[in-house]
Homo-oligomer: A and B are copies of this chain.
Amino acid sequence: MVKAIFLIQTEDRKGILASVVDFFYSRGFNILKCQQHTDSYEKRFFMRIELDADDMKTSRKELEDEFGILASSMSLEWSCHWSDYRTRVAILVSKTSHCLYDLLARQLEGEFSAEIPLIISNHPDLERVAEQFRIPYYCIPVDGNKEKQESEIRELLRKFHIDLVVLARYMQILTSEFTEEWKNRIINIHHAFLPAFQGANPYKRAYERGVKMIGATAHYASEDLDQGPIIEQNVVRVSHELTPDGLKEVGKDLEKQVLATAVKAHLEHRIIVYKNKTIVFSVER
């Protein structure tokens, strides 16, 4: 079944839900799922609605255009997604392989509704993994000229019609031009429970602070390092016996899990960003 998914947000006021629901009902759609709530603190209306699009009477473009007219009249921020479109994902890595293996295995397992047409790295180390999974690997080292390297990467993203960039332990800081152009379309994994231990060496600092749990955080990349909207976080209890290297080992599983969960939420069109926060609607299957 092909589904149409609408993500909607606006200032809260009466009648929005009814108007939206009526819009689809009057066009003969079966509504599969409707999740709506109001953030009473922000006075903000958030909604995700999922429709059976199998027997649509109009074209997709017509539907979107008509909804656009309604949305304009009610000042809705919205996006529309079709479940049969496979999002095109580029994975960026450096030398660490655990997140890459995890993403590629999940892709083969059919967990992602996506294509992964290429892997990009600033190091040659993980080409062997790309080969194992038969995905083109582009090694673009920084070589002292970061600007040039980034512009080559961005050129590749365009050429491959990429929709989403996943930083799977990519250890370069992106320029604000890059994060601005790709706003809410770059997912990064940080190996700490943000906002604790922003920046470098979080496991060593976690060891020194003597925390009893370590965490991982997946977030959209923004201009300010490790400060973009958080999509997913998790933690695991750690023993006082673990050294910084031990924490790093234990943290790998967490990073894989948290990153994959965030990528799935994005691919399934379950995320709305408001201010510096995300609403992540729950999973359904």
Interface residues of A (CB under 8 A from B): 14-15, 17-18, 21-22, 24-25, 28, 30-41, 97-98, 101-102, 105, 108-109, 111, 132-133, 193-197, 207-213, 215, 229-235, 239-246, 249-250, 252-253, 257, 275-280, 282-285
Contacts and interface: CB of A to CB of B under 8 A. Distances in A.
Contact of A243 (B21, B41, B233, B243): B41
A23 to B, nearest CB: 10
Nearest to A248: B285
A194 B211 contact: yes
Nearest to A42: B243
A240 B280 contact: yes
Given A195-B196, A195-B211, 15 more contacts: A21-B22, A34-B36, A35-B37, A37-B284, A40-B243, A41-B207, A41-B244, A101-B108, A193-B235, A209-B277, A213-B235, A239-B283, A240-B278, A242-B284, A253-B257
The dominant DSSP class at the A interface is: mixed
Contact of A242 (B210, B276, B285): B285
Given A33-B38, A101-B105, A105-B102, A276 B17 contact: no
Given A18-B31, A36-B34, A97-B109, A246 B196 contact: no
A236 to B, nearest CB: 10
